[in-house]
Amino acid sequence: MGFFDNILGGGEEKSDLNLEDVIEGEGDVINPPADFYVKKIDVRNEGDVELIAKELTSKNVIILNVSPLSKQPNRLKKIIARMKEYSDKIDGDIALLSSDLVILTPKHVKIVKSKPTVKK
């Protein structure tokens, strides 16, 4: 752990990099409002479905945090089914980003989905 580790990359230093500090910046006060936005919404109940539908109608891309309902799988499944039905109705799209995040897109915005390939 010395000179050669630094050259060969064996002695990597731990970084205290906080990505939120990098991503978060001071507000953009110079540019005008955008035509549409990417918004994160925490889904807590069935009433949030109307809010999500309104945002999709406004051409916003929605990232749903479904972790508040993770202990209520039947309720969550019902809400996601309603969101999928609405997404199909408006010609939008829906996809799973992770076990806690779902992305919904408005009309004419499609998500490229790929299934994991099986290694032989």
Rounded to two decimals, the pTM is 0.71
Dihedral angle at the C-alpha atoms of 33, 34, 36, 37, nearest 10 degrees? -80
For each of the domains in the chain, give its residue range(s) and CATH number, in order of start. 34-112 (3.30.110.150)
Question: Which tens digits make up the pLDDT trace of 33-63?
Answer: 888 999 999 999 888 999 999 999 999 999 9
CA–CA dist 41, 48 (Å, integer): 9
Element (H, E) at 84: helix 73-89
CA–CA dist 79, 43 (Å, integer): 9
Please, which residues have CB within 8 angstroms of residue 46's CB and are 6 or more apart in sequence? 75, 78, 79, 82
pLDDT for the residue 32? 75
